[in-house]
């Protein structure tokens, strides 16, 4: 009976606006039973961005103000991060970056598809309960974002590295996780985004969209290297899908650039999408 009252209270809160629930209060069943509300992004950025494994120091960000980039992707949470030790990343770093005029793209790297292609990511596979895991990791992502001062209305981008989307069983498990993660992030007032290879995860999301699947991510961040930068010409996506202001193109990766005497290895991105609102 106590559990039932919680779910009823949650549904009432949804009708009034975005529900704010204690960690662990949304079960996979509850998340699937209610279609996530459309959470509107509070800030959209159009321009060049870069992402790098470890968030650079504020000194480096200040030096990079001489570059073409005005937004930075940060890997702020998740067990699947290649750089789990983020020496500089904190609430103070985020406010410092904001005050310098930088826009921020928060990336969460959690469990990966069971048929992920990168051997380095095979140690954190989605397990036998993808819906439950999606809820748990979404709660972790939202809680960590809030601790850093990333406010509701901000995007959180789920990083799902390239996987075999043509393996039906694996694709089904992966999609169940993504939908559950997406629904929970949305319920908690954040904008669920999705990063993957254009020729795997992004293609998979487009197939799901055409099939009428709900609870899909609101923003697509697609990796397709060695082509001209464009948010509108990705062949894995229908021209009108995830439009307007809901696309990011990662068009080059693992390149070395130096600005203001500070060198970084980065991926290059063209953005027309939501960015974080820093409190």
Element (H, E) at 195: strand 191-197
Rounded Cα gap, residues 89 and 53, in angstroms: 12
To which H or E segment does residue 253 belong?
A: strand 247-259
> Hunting for tokens 């990336």 — which residue is that?
107
> 12-22, pLDDT tens digit by residue?
333 333 332 22
Per-residue model confidence (pLDDT) at position 39: 73
User: Per-residue pLDDT tens for 218-238?
Assistant: 999 999 999 999 999 999 999
Return the structure tokens found at 94. Answer: 């985020």
pTM above 0.85, yes or no: yes
Domains of the chain: 2-274 (3.20.20.80)
Query: Is pLDDT at 32 greater than 70 in this prediction?
Result: no
């Amino acid at each position: 009976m106590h559990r039932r009252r919680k779910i009823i209270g949650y549904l009432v809160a949804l009708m009034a606006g975005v529900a704010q629930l204690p960690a662990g209060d949304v079960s996979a069943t509850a998340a699937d039973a209610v279609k996530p509300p459309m959470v509107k992004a509070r800030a959209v950025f159009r321009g060049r961005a870069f992402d790098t494994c470890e968030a650079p120091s504020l000194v480096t960000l200040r030096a990079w103000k001489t570059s073409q980039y005005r937004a930075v992707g940060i890997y702020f949470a998740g067990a699947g991060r290649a750089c789990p030790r983020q020496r500089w990343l904190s609430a103070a770093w985020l406010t410092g970056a904001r005050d310098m005029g930088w826009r921020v793209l928060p990336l969460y790297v959690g469990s990966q598809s069971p048929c992920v292609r990168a051997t380095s990511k095979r140690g954190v596979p989605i397990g036998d309960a993808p819906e439950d895991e999606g809820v748990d990791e979404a709660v972790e992502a939202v809680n960590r974002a809030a601790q850093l001062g990333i406010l509701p209305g901000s995007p959180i981008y789920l990083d799902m590295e390239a996987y075999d989307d043509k393996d039906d069983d694996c694709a089904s498990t992966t999609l169940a996780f993504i939908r559950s993660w997406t629904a929970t992030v949305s319920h908690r007032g954040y904008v669920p985004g999705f990063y993957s290879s254009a020729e795997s995860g992004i293609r998979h999301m487009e197939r799901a969209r055409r099939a009428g699947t709900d609870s899909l991510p609101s923003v697509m961040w697609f990796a397709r290297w060695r082509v001209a930068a464009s948010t509108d010409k990705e062949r894995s996506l229908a021209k009108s899908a995830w439009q307007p202001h809901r696309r990011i193109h990662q068009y080059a990766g693992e390149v070395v650039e130096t600005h203001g005497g500070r060198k970084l290895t980065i991926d290059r991105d063209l953005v027309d999408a939501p960015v974080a609102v820093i409190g």
